[in-house]
Amino acid sequence: MIVAANFKTNMTRQSTREYMDVLGAFLSKAQYDDTIMVFPPATALDRFDADIVIGAQNAYATRNGAYTGEIGLEQLEEFDINTLLIGHSERRHVLGETQEDIIHKFNFFKAQGFKIIYCIGEPIEIRESGSDALMEYLECQLDGIDLGYDGLIVAYEPVWAIGTGLTPSTDDVLLIHNALKKMIQRPLLYGGSVKPENAKAIMALSSVDGVLVGGASLKIDDFKSIIQSTDSRI
Ligand code: PEP
């Protein structure tokens, strides 16, 4: 299982370090063979003494250069970071990244051998248009992405479930993941209001290879509890 925490624009350099100390100590005592990832804000990227993959929430498709406000490969290499979120719904819908921007970014970091957590997910109006429209929408978000890339992990995150407390039923998650698995033979995460109360049921689904957690990852006890839920599938 992969359990990933996306802090978004939360936490500081100091609180991230404290969090990583607690999480690192928890993981070193427990016997999980899961992959735990944390995506702190860019200002808190660093090396940590823990068995945790540190990834960046975003980066610009450049080594360095005149891109005010962005970070590139050089800033990630300083901390040996080679894991990146691409296509998150907040970058698509709030920050206006187009599929073209996303493909460009994907190809740049793929060429650098990055592990890429590539996010897809439908807004509510598409969801309400039925399952054909939904799958068509998701397929468009996969357009131009090398689905055979061995550094690829896909996260299915319905936009209407992110940060809202709403989640699709486990039957719906299973249905959509099964359909996606026909196209993508890579790990497939579910994201969208995952919390301690629903993590076990979601991770018990055969086509769910892990979860991407936003809000609930900010409380270390909740994130630890979600990690403990990986035991649900034998
Ligand atoms: C996310 O940001 O990827 C996410 C799934 O957020 P939340 O868990 O808060 O819905």
Q: Residue 32 has what pLDDT?
A: 81
39-42 long-range Cβ contacts below 8 angstroms, 24+ apart: 39/4, 39/5, 39/6, 39/7, 39/85, 40/7, 40/11, 40/16, 41/7, 41/8, 41/9, 41/10, 41/11, 41/16, 42/71, 42/75
Q: Is a pLDDT exceeding 90 seen at residue 30?
A: no
Catalytic residue list contains 177: no
What's the pLDDT band for 55 if we cut at 50, 70, 90? very high
* Cα gap 110→106, rounded to integer Å: 6
Closest by CA to 229, choosing from 92, 38, 30, 58, is 30
pLDDT given for residue 232 in this prediction? 56
pLDDT of residue 5: 98
Distance 218 CA to ligand 1 centre (A): 11
In the prediction, which pLDDT does 114 show?
98
Q: 27 CA distance to ligand 1 centroid (A)?
A: 22
pLDDT of amino acid 31: 78
Atom of ligand 1 nearest to the CA of 155: 3
**Is the pLDDT score of 234 beyond 50?**
no
Q: What is the pLDDT of residue 85?
A: 98
Q: What is the mean pLDDT of the chain?
A: 96
Q: Domain-by-domain residue ranges, the chain?
A: 2-232
The CATH code for residues 2-232 is 3.20.20.70
Residue in 90, 122, 157, 177 annotated catalytic:
157
Report the candidate in 76, 73, 29, 74 with the shortest Cα–Cα distance to residue 51.
29
Whether the pLDDT of residue 160 is over 50: the answer is: yes
Atom of ligand 1 nearest to the CA of 194: 8
Which pair of structure tokens corresponds to residue 43?
């200002």
pLDDT of residue 110: 98
pLDDT band at residue 118 under the 50/70/90 scheme: very high
Whether residue 189 has its Cβ less than 6 Å from ligand 1: no
| 121 touches ligand 1 (CB under 6 Å) | no
Q: Is 88 a known active-site residue?
A: yes
pLDDT band at residue 99 using 50, 70 and 90 as cut-offs? very high
Using DSSP bridges, classify how beta strands 35-39 and 83-86 pair: parallel, antiparallel or unpaired.
unpaired
- 215 Cβ closer than 6 Å to some ligand 1 atom: yes
Distance, CA of 56 to chain centre? 10
- What integer is the mean pLDDT of 88-100? 97
Residue 229, SS3 per DSSP: helix
Q: For 145-167, what is the mean pLDDT?
A: 97
- By most ligand atoms within 8 Å of CB, the mutation choice from 197, 213, 218, 223 for ligand 1 is 213
Q: What is the mean pLDDT of residues 27-44?
A: 94
Question: How much is the pLDDT for 73?
Answer: 98
Q: What is the pLDDT of residues 163-208, one digit of tens each?
A: 999 999 999 999 999 999 999 999 999 999 999 999 999 999 999 9
For range 204-215, the mean pLDDT:
98
